Structure 1
Amino acid sequence: MQIILVSRHLKAARTITIMPRHVLATIFALLLLVFSTSALFSWLSVALRLPLVEDLLVTLHLQEDRKTRDHVDSNLQLMATRLGELQAQVLQLDALGDRLSGIAGVRRERQVDTLKAAQGGPYVPAPMNAGELQKEIERLAVLVDQRSDDLAHVEYKLLEKRVRERLLPTVLPVKDAYLGSPFGHRADPIAGARAMHEGIDFNAETGTPVVATADGVVLAAAYHPDFGNVIDIDHGEGLVSRYAHLSRIDIKPASLVKRGQLIGAVGNTGRSTGAHLHFEVRMQGVAQNPAHFLKQGDEYAHLKRR
């Protein structure tokens, strides 16, 4: 770019050529001047403690401190809230664990607290700092995991107990019946000689429903010379229940039966002197007293006795 200067004092016009480097140099000089002036003014303001600048610096420091304090307070509040939630979860899990342990019959193992000397005095709150809050949160998080594992174990034991109870013959096979001959030695009703009675008799009218005393699989459902129409149900682990002298059989061998399911009816078939159900429980083929199992249910106590 060229600039032509014309003046009456000059005999001829002068031409000034402005190159890009001249423009850059001018801009750099201006920026340097502004920066130097600002730095000088700031130095003089701080050195001479000018009220305006000092107030501005104090205000900036206060704003930064307030922001930092608000950030810390917010984090502490979040940590305190998380700590309260974890404490509540631990209490809830402990209470739930105690209830489930009672139902499942499982004894929960607890850490025994060491004995402490007697203490007392006025209550003086001592708020925790961020580090202490973080350590307490981590400790409670570990406790929550431990309690969850404990509850999973209790749940397993409870499920195991429920399965075991469903496989134990604890339901009365005949609901409306009178207790007849118990388990043990007696005079044989036909031969009159002393004999072993390997079950319990339930006296009821012919046709009275007979139900399965527990879940299982039907081993046999057929006629036997001594037992008449008889059903054997396998409940697992070598435990078998037997229902004899039936007037009819309502299930087939290899069938799955549920506790309380109808399987037949009271009768007078086989070696029998009258309508009744002969009920046996055998473990590994050895006759057991059925009363020991039936007493674990709620119905045996209300069984009618002549």
Structure 2
Amino acid sequence: MNIILVSRKRGQSRMVSPWLLLPVFVVLVATLSGVGYLGYQHLRPKATVIIDQNASRVWLNRIEQQAAEVDKTRIYTEEQINALRIRLAELQARLTRLDALGERLVDVASLDQGEFDFSLPPAVGGPESDSFDYQPPDFVHILDELAAQIGNREQQLRVLDSLLGDRKIQNETFVAGRPIQRGWMSSRYGYRNDPFSGNLAWHEGVDFAGKNGSDIVAVASGVVTWASTRSGYGELVEINHGNGYVTRYAHCDEILVEVGDVVKKADIIALMGSTGRSTGPHVHFEVIINGKSVDPAKYINRVARF
């Protein structure tokens, strides 16, 4: 097959073999194919990348940081809970001491046990009022307020305990009563006829006669300052009661205390005898205030404090 080419200018025709146009056709097809491929590549939708490697590293770092923060928060929370446990234990111990102190005050003050029973919670009550939504407050703040209240009450109870203790000490050291449990007054305070010479002489105490070996008791609490023999007194016990008060118990058959002993009111300190300048079993009893002897009668007849 031949291809006829016609010229526009001259109007002449020319026969051309198709094999001569084959290279041109090949070049044209190749060119069109390349243009088409490039257009396809340009117009083809690109593949979507969800996450790249850098973004993955960033997220992994954030996850690790958050995990570390969670661990720190957990450790901090455990420390706070342990601190609260310790605080509660301290408050419970302080409340226990307050209960013990309250029971002691009840005993010291001789109050009715049923009126102040520290083993039971305080009795409360009253009619119901309009309810409202309760908002739980900060429990740490509540613990601080409770601790402050306990501290104030401890201070008040210490003051009360001190006052009651002082009152009890004053009652214990209050000189009152007889130095014997059994016996009778055989000689009074002041001038009398001396039993040995018959002459008028000053007697600085009172005598209580009784059975040999009878109990001699302290008329008030105090500290023993003498427990031995003294000229004229025989076996003598001397007790200092504080505030300038001293009592003496003479002519004892046996002394049952030593110097430095703390004795309580009504404790047995010696046994009645007739040692020293004596005519028979009795106890010579003296009351001395600020170094000066006074008539023991008003202390013997005193009503003891309670």
Q: Normalising to structure 2: TM-score of the pair?
A: 0.46
State TM-score, norm by structure 1.
Answer: 0.46
Q: For the pair shown, which has the larger CA radius of gyration, 1 or 2? A: 2
